């Protein structure tokens, strides 16, 4: 059943802005980073993506889906003879798939660039670390999906878009450099990339002398806890949004 719902929800966004965001954003990013900072293009591909472009793209994808359903007055969810919770779970799965796909494109594109420009003096990243970054970023971002969907349904397009972007791109980046980062899930993506990719949120190498660098930032301490918390919040958030939609069906 869930596979059929997943395919159905995936079909709904085919040829829409949501599906284009997943592949266009990383492609445009990689082209710009190569021409703007060719020596650091591989590093910038990841750093620019998880600190700015990806949070914006993820939030926009979620709120566009909620806007689509609200414009249809929930006719794509409430009237059909399928549990509304499963429809929401299908949307969450589709968005989770989209976030992973988008990050994977960045990884594969960066790996190709690094391989092609191997003889050129560019800053490189280990291939395995880049691939691991895709999985970690996917997990530490995915908890936001049910939260953004709920906020989009409840509060609307622009409030959700603005608030989540400010929290992620502002508060999350600042918190990632602090000792208390573990209490802010918004900080997890940037924080976990520091020891893994040796990149600070400001794009500088995580080495002594770089602005905002601290030796403790290179520690993996708390990484597993952050991943587990992200998974738990994702599950709880998905259940809560599903229950909320179920109550709407009963009204």
- What is the spatial distance between Cα 6 and Cα 162, in angstroms, rounded to a whole number? 28
CA distance 72 to 162: 23
Task: Quickly state the pLDDT bin for 74 (edges 50, 70, 90).
Answer: low
**pLDDT tens digits for range 78-128:** 555 566 678 889 999 999 999 999 999 999 999 998 888 776 677 889 999
pLDDT at residue 250 is higher than 50: no
User: Is the overall model pTM greater than 0.75, yes or no?
Assistant: yes
**What is the model's pLDDT at position 76?**
53
Determine the structural domain holding residue 137 and report its residue range: 1-250
CB count within 10 Å of CB 151 equals 22
What pLDDT, on a 0 to 100 scale, did the predictor assign at position 101?
A: 95
**pLDDT for 75:** 58
- Split at pLDDT 50, 70, 90, the class of 248 is low
Q: What's the confidence (pLDDT) of residue 81?
A: 54
If one counts the domains in the chain, the total is: 1
pLDDT tens column, 184-212:
999 999 999 999 999 999 988 899 889 99
pLDDT in tens, 2-59: 788 888 888 888 878 888 999 999 999 888 888 887 788 889 899 999 999 999 999 9
**Four-residue CA torsion sign, 170, 176, 182, 186:** positive
Question: At residue 170, does pLDDT exceed 90?
Answer: no
The angle at the Cα of 54, spanning 64 to 85, to the nearest 5 degrees, equals 45
For range 216-232, the mean pLDDT: 96
pLDDT for position 251: 45
């Amino acid at each position: 059943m869930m596979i059929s719902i997943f395919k159905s929800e995936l079909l709904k966004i085919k040829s829409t802005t949501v599906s284009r965001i997943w592949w266009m954003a990383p492609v445009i990013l990689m082209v710009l980073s190569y021409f703007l900072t060719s020596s650091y293009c591989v590093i910038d591909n990841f750093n620019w993506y998880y600190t700015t472009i990806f949070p914006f793209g993820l939030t926009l994808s979620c709120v566009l889906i909620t806007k689509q359903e609200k414009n249809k007055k929930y006719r794509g969810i409430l009237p059909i003879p399928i549990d509304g919770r499963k429809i929401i779970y299908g949307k969450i799965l589709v968005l989770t798939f989209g976030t992973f796909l988008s990050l994977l494109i960045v990884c594969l594109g960066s790996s190709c660039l690094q391989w092609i420009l191997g003889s050129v003096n560019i800053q490189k990243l280990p291939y395995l670390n880049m691939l691991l970054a895709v999985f970690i970023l996917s997990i530490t971002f995915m908890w936001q999906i049910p939260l953004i969907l709920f906020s989009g349904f409840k509060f609307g397009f622009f409030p959700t878009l603005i608030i989540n972007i400010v929290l992620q791109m502002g508060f999350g980046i600042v918190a990632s450099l602090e000792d208390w980062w573990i209490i802010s899930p918004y900080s997890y993506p940037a924080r976990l990339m520091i020891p893994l990719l040796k990149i600070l949120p400001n794009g500088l190498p995580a080495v002594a002398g770089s602005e905002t660098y601290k030796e403790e930032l290179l520690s993996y301490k708390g990484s597993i806890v952050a991943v587990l918390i992200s998974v738990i919040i994702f599950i709880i958030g998905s259940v809560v949004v599903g229950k909320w939609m179920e109550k709407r069906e009963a009204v």
